[in-house]
């Protein structure tokens, strides 16, 4: 029998011709990622090993994106610790201040992750890079430390679930809606330690930004990773970004899957995840009575240029509701610059929105948009658990950028077609 793309990548990195689901394998790594929250713990574990170098100073990526610019003394000390480590070990790719971006937007943009590679990160949404046809997954800080030291980690080869999206996407529907649809079907643990493989004609027509969104939220279904077989869209994205050779893997026609789910998306409405779980998914038409106090457009899930274009399409020439705080966060500085060049930032500011430097801030209830007691936010982020964005009695509703923008204008959760053509 054949192998899935995930099995092929793990086999290649284990130096084997074939692996099967359930096997334990030791694999070489192409990259190890950490951020300002998770890296300090990894540094302390790394220091216990007494080593004078990391496995490859060019393959360790340290991105200070969660609480920078530093929001308080504790976050400043965390960044200080990572900064000193990066300097001591000569880490090439340390990002802070004006060079920083939201990690899962930044690394693909810079060509630091490529098709066929194996990457771990001490952040659960490291699975984002599966959009490139890479096997990428989140790990704990101890595994990050081991990865920095050895350039290797062990993995249990996951079973794969094939998600087949059929039909042509309607206007205002994108990658966020496709992945929410799947999470609503699978539940938050329905793909536990499995690979979600996104396939079908709707995926083939989906731009890279939408694919990143889908792979990013594979973890919300409990998956080990999310992945798309590379095609011309993938190769066009990495062309000009890649600074090293890479190998493209694709699933065999006779690969084995634990299950296959089919979705006809031709008449799909934008989807909204209600509190307090990403699996609590309903069509936007069932949310029209829900008022909101805040709208957040950004994050590692939906902070890319296509996301900002969709939001600006709704907000252009309009004003946000006077009772809705609207926050727009470009995923990287380059995305920010592109948004300025295209006039999107002007659209946002003229509409009454706030535009922030790249940060994870509000997504995890860190800063730049904390909710108070009883408040509601419509957000393009990835999680809406109790207290995720602030007070434990606040509520977060997850949506695509166009829905978030339309909701900001009307003061209630709304379909974009209610506001814009």
Q: pLDDT, tens digit, for every residue of 43-67?
A: 999 999 999 999 999 999 999 999 9
Rounded mean pLDDT of 115-121? 98
- Start-end ranges of CATH 3.30.499.10 in the chain? 5-262, 271-418
Q: pLDDT, tens digit, for every residue of 272-281?
A: 999 999 999 9
pLDDT at residue 68, as a whole number? 84
DSSP secondary structure code for residue 158 in this structure = P
Q: Give percent of the chain with pLDDT exceeding 90.
A: 99
* pLDDT grade for 188, boundaries at 50, 70 and 90: very high
Q: Assess whether pLDDT exceeds 90 at residue 19.
A: yes
Q: Assess whether pLDDT exceeds 90 at residue 30.
A: yes
Q: Give percent of the chain with pLDDT exceeding 70.
A: 100
Rounded mean pLDDT of 162-179? 98
pLDDT at residue 52, as a whole number? 94
Rounded mean pLDDT of 213-231? 98
- Please confirm whether the linkage preceding 276 is cis (ω < 30° from 0): yes
Q: pLDDT, tens digit, for every residue of 87-110?
A: 999 999 999 999 999 999 999 999
How many CA atoms does the CB half-sphere of 214 hold within 13 Å?
A: 31
Residue with tokens 């920010």: 336
DSSP string spanning 219-276? GGGT-SEEEE---HHHHHHHTTT--S--------TTB--SEEEEEE-TTPPPEEEPTT
Cα separation of 322 and 103, whole Å? Answer: 32
Angle at 82 between CA 80 and CA 87, to 5 degrees: 95
* pLDDT grade for 235, boundaries at 50, 70 and 90: very high
pLDDT at residue 421, as a whole number? 73
Rounded mean pLDDT of 393-421? 96
- Bin 240: left if φ > 0, else alpha if -120 < ψ < 50, else beta: left
pLDDT at residue 236, as a whole number? 98
Q: pLDDT, tens digit, for every residue of 317-335?
A: 999 999 999 999 999 999 9
pLDDT at residue 1, as a whole number? 82
Task: Give which of 15, 236, 216 is closest to 134, Cα–Cα.
Answer: 216
Rounded mean pLDDT of 224-250? 97
- Per CATH, the homologous superfamily of domain 271-418 is Aconitase, domain 3 (3.30.499.10)
Rounded mean pLDDT of 294-303? 98
- State if pTM tops 0.75: yes
pLDDT at residue 408, as a whole number? 98
Q: pLDDT, tens digit, for every residue of 124-140?
A: 999 999 999 999 999 99
pLDDT at residue 420, as a whole number? 86
Class of domain 5-262: alpha beta
Residue with tokens 């939408």: 210
Q: Assess whether pLDDT exceeds 90 at residue 239.
A: yes
* pLDDT grade for 144, boundaries at 50, 70 and 90: very high
């Amino acid at each position: 029998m054949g192998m899935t793309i995930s099995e092929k990548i793990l086999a290649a990195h284990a130096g084997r011709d074939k692996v099967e689901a359930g096997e334990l394998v030791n694999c070489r790594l192409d990259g190890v990622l950490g951020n300002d929250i998770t890296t300090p713990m990894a540094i302390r574990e790394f220091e216990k090993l007494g080593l004078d170098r990391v496995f490859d100073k060019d393959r360790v990526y340290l991105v200070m994106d969660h609480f920078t610019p530093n929001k308080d003394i504790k976050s400043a000390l965390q960044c200080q610790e990572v900064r000193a480590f990066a300097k001591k070990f000569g880490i090439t790719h340390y990002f802070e201040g004006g060079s920083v971006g939201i990690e899962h937007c930044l690394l693909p943009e810079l060509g630091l992750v490529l098709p066929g590679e194996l990457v771990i990160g001490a952040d659960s949404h490291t699975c984002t890079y599966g959009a490139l046809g890479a096997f990428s997954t989140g790990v704990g800080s101890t595994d990050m430390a081991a990865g920095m030291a050895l350039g290797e980690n062990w993995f249990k080869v996951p079973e794969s679930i094939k998600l087949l999206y059929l039909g042509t996407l309607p206007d205002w529907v994108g990658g966020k809606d496709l992945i929410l649809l799947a999470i609503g079907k699978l539940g938050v643990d329905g793909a536990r330690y499995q690979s979600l493989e996104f396939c079908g004609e709707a995926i083939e027509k989906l731009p890279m930004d939408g694919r990143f969104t889908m792979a990013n939220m594979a973890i919300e279904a409990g998956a080990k990773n999310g992945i798309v077989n590379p095609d011309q869209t993938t190769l066009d994205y990495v062309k000009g970004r890649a600074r090293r050779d890479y190998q493209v893997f694709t699933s065999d026609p006779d690969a084995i899957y634990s299950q296959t789910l089919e979705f006809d998306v031709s008449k799909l409405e934008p989807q909204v995840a209600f509190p307090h779980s990403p699996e609590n998914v309903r069509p936007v038409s069932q949310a029209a009575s829900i008022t909101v106090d805040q709208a957040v457009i950004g994050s590692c899930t939906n902070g890319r240029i296509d996301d900002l274009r969709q939001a600006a399409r709704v907000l252009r020439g309009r004003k946000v509701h006077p009772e809705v705080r609207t926050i727009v966060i470009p995923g990287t500085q380059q995305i920010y610059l592109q948004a300025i060049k295209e006039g999107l930032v002007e659209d946002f500011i003229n509409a009454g929105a706030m535009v922030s430097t790249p940060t994870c801030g509000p997504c995890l209830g860190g800063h730049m948009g904390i909710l108070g007691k009883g408040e509601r936010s419509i957000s393009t982020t990835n999680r809406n658990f109790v207290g995720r964005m602030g007070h434990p009695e606040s509520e977060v509703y997850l949506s695509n950028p166009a829905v978030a923008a339309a909701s900001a204008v009307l003061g209630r959760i709304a379909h974009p077609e209610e506001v814009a053509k």
